[in-house]
Amino acid sequence: MNYFVTGTDTGVGKTLISCALLHGFAAQGRRVVGMKPVAAGCADGGQHEDVRQLRAAANVLASGGQINPYCFMQAVAPLLAARFVGVSINFARIVESFSELNAQADVVIVEGVGGFRVPLNDEQDSADMAEQLGLPFILVVGMRLGCLNHALLTAEAIAARGLTLAGWVANVLDENMAMLDENIAALEQRIGAPLLGVVPCQAHQPDAREVASLLDLALLEQADLHD
């Protein structure tokens, strides 16, 4: 019951959906914890806002180093942020932290950085990291103009690596998006994984507990049984 949450781009709601998944599984009585292997744009001496939200949504206590092995101050691409401080992102450290979390929880939700293929070091990207963790994916599609192409390319890239797309979430970013329902239907027809839920555009600070009620986690369990 561990999942890797990726998105069609940066700023599409991966953290919101990751936290909603944590709340949803916790409501089932499971021990849950979130992980953000790499984050950029961390406050000086503090933690990244995404990490803070993931920790708040969990019911398993874990160290900051386990949840977020790599945190960089510069709010730029992780490769550049790491290079700025003379650090190389080592996947072995990330895998070790994940294993520690996995030993403490029933469900680990790993939130990626940016989209599916974000460079993390000179030779590897976020897709390589996800492949090493070997987790099924949940894709967050930011519903706005251009999302069809981004969503289908991401789903295709996941399949090309022999990885599993367990489900996807339509997160509405543009409340005035033309033909929203038709766009969602087009993706349902083409993505070979269940639509877990549609999250309306959030006018105010979104509540991950409320969003959890919009997600059908039973679809994930059915996919696991099928596999």
Active site residues per annotation: 36
DSSP-derived 3-state class of residue 38? strand
Q: Strand 32-35 relative to strand 38-40: parallel, antiparallel, unpaired?
A: unpaired
Is there a contact between 10 and 142 (Cβ–Cβ < 8 Å)?
no
Q: If 0-12 CB within 10 Å is exposed, 13-18 middle and 19+ buried, where does residue 44 land?
A: exposed
Q: Where are the beta strands (DSSP E) in the chain?
A: 3-7, 32-35, 38-40, 70-72, 107-111, 137-143, 165-172, 195-199
Is there a contact between 186 and 214 (Cβ–Cβ < 8 Å)?
no
Using alpha carbons, list the distances in angstroms from residue 204 to 143, 200, 207, 213, 223.
17, 11, 9, 17, 33
User: What's the CA angle centered on 192, arms 183 and 110, to 5 degrees?
Assistant: 95
> Which of 36, 130, 114 lies closest to 79, judged by CA?
114
